[in-house]
Structure 1
Amino acid sequence: MRDKKDYIQDINEIRSMMERTSKFLSLAGWAGIMAGFYALIGAFTAYYFLGLTPEVLATRVSPAGTNWLQLVLTGLVVLALAVGTAVYFSAEKASRRGERLWNSTSRRLLLQMSVPLVAGGLLVLILMSQGYVGLAAPLTLVFYGLALYNAGNFTYPEIRFLGILQIALGLLSTCFVPLGLFFWATGFGVLHIVYGIYIHYKYER
């Protein structure tokens, strides 16, 4: 006769197997940490080299009077670095777990995130092209937070909490538009670093 410990072990193994098939657990803490550092460097570049000062953010300026194209390119570079790093660390983690990075769960995760990200990105580009540069930080935080909240159904539950924090920062940022870059750096930079450290120590050590 099998004892109670054997049944508990069987239940835990079944639970683990179901979790692997329904949750994307290859997100790496180091990816979040590096994404945070990229964001801080991007914010520093936007402020000191592209002139994204509180004065610029506080008013609507003509597109010709801003470096909005350079700002967009800077944002795209930060995004590319963050995504590339996330793919690298996630692929490495998936390999250690004996799993495939690209599967039905990761596809669902990407789909849930892509809708708010694409919609928000297009809205931000339209507004920036019309001189509303100050709205870029609040909107990117809100739409990114919505994407993370959706992603919480398919990966670590902490992602959903991170999404709520990003949304809250974005909404708060609309009340202090001149300080938008500070809120953006806090959300995309500091919160990512804190989240990455937390995930690393909780799930990867």
Structure 2
Amino acid sequence: MNKYENDLTHIRQMMERSSTFISLSGLSGVGAGLVALVGCALTFYILAQHQIDYFDGKPNYYSYQVIIQLGIVAISTLLLAIGSGIYFTVKKSKKLGHPLWSAATKNTVKSAGIPLVTGGLFCIIITWHHLFYLVAPCMLIFYGLALVSASKYTQSDIYWLGLCQLVLGVLAAVFVGYGLVFWGIGFGILHIVYGIMMYHKYK
């Protein structure tokens, strides 16, 4: 009987591997969270240097110098976060002996990619119109939608992280002037907490 139970367990695990992207590392979340907090701190520093009060909640027409500096911080933060995610995920995938680019991986990327690309373009548009106070809420909302969408093909815990990001995005839109704070909580603190939990759960 034990033999049949073991066989069934093995078959179930094989089916799960083929349909679910399970190589996502908890350390990816920790790395992305730390990078996000640094990026958030640098953003506040740049605004303070130019005597811009982000918390007043009013539309600000930043100089091109400020926009370029903030753009460099944003792009650097994004690239470092993605880089750390890829590094730890590849490392875990090799450790588990799982193929990194599988059907499940493709489905995960497709599901998350549509909301992320749409959100990225929308953020560029509102930045072009100098609606900077809406950038943080939009990033949180579209990122939350991406996580919820991708949760069908990866660890189910991603779904709850996505919902938390959505809630923070809505709050950031309501409490205008504190969007960057909610952004730091969502992309920074939540990622770190989530990453630590997932690391201990799936190690």
TM-score (ref. length: structure 2) = 0.94
**Which residue of 18, 35, 39 maps to 2:36?**
39
- Pairing 1:191–2:193 present: no
Q: How does 1:97-116 map to 2 (within 5 A)?
A: 97-116=96-115
**Which residue of 9, 13, 37 maps to 1:12?**
9
1:54 alignment counterpart = 54
Unaligned runs of 5+ in 2: none
Rounded Cα–Cα distance in structure 1 between residues aligned with 2:53 and 2:195: 29
Contact 2:61 2:130 in 1 (8 A): yes
Aligned length, in residue pairs? 200
- Pairing 1:134–2:133 present: yes
SS of 1:48 mapped into structure 2: helix
1:176 CA displacement:
0.6
Contact 2:141 2:165 in 1 (8 A): yes
1:63 CA displacement:
4.6
Q: How does 1:147-158 map to 2 (within 5 A)?
A: 147-158=146-157
Unaligned runs of 5+ in 1: none
Contact 1:25 1:155 in 2 (8 A): yes
Rounded Cα–Cα distance in structure 1 between residues aligned with 2:65 and 2:115: 26
SS of 2:39 mapped into structure 1: helix
Name the % identity. Answer: 38
Contact 2:18 2:102 in 1 (8 A): no
Which portions of structure 1, spanning 4 or more consecutive aligned residues, are displaced by more than 4 angstroms? none
Instruction: Render the CA deviation track for 1:142-166: whole Å, top value 9, x for unaligned.
Output: 0000000011011100001100000
RMSD: 1.5
Rounded Cα–Cα distance in structure 1 between residues aligned with 2:53 and 2:43: 8
Rounded Cα–Cα distance in structure 2 between residues aligned with 1:23 and 1:11: 18
**Which residue of 21, 25, 35 maps to 1:24?**
21
Name whichever of 90-99 and 43-52 sits farther off.
Answer: 43-52
Rounded Cα–Cα distance in structure 2 between residues aligned with 1:182 and 1:34: 19
SS of 1:122 mapped into structure 2: helix
Task: Classify 1:197/1:157 alpha carbon distance in 2 versus 1 (closer, same or farther; 3 Å).
Answer: same
Contact 1:68 1:129 in 2 (8 A): no
Instruction: Render the CA deviation track for 1:145-200: whole Å, top value 9, x for unaligned.
Output: 00000110111000011000000100011111111111000000000000000000
Look up the equivalent residue of 1:99 and give its one-letter code.
H
Rounded Cα–Cα distance in structure 2 between residues aligned with 1:41 and 1:127: 24
Rounded Cα–Cα distance in structure 2 between residues aligned with 1:67 and 1:103: 42
TM-score (ref. length: structure 1) = 0.93
Instruction: Render the CA deviation track for 1:128-147: whole Å, top value 9, x for unaligned.
Output: 12110000110000000000
1:65 CA displacement:
6.8
SS of 1:177 mapped into structure 2: coil
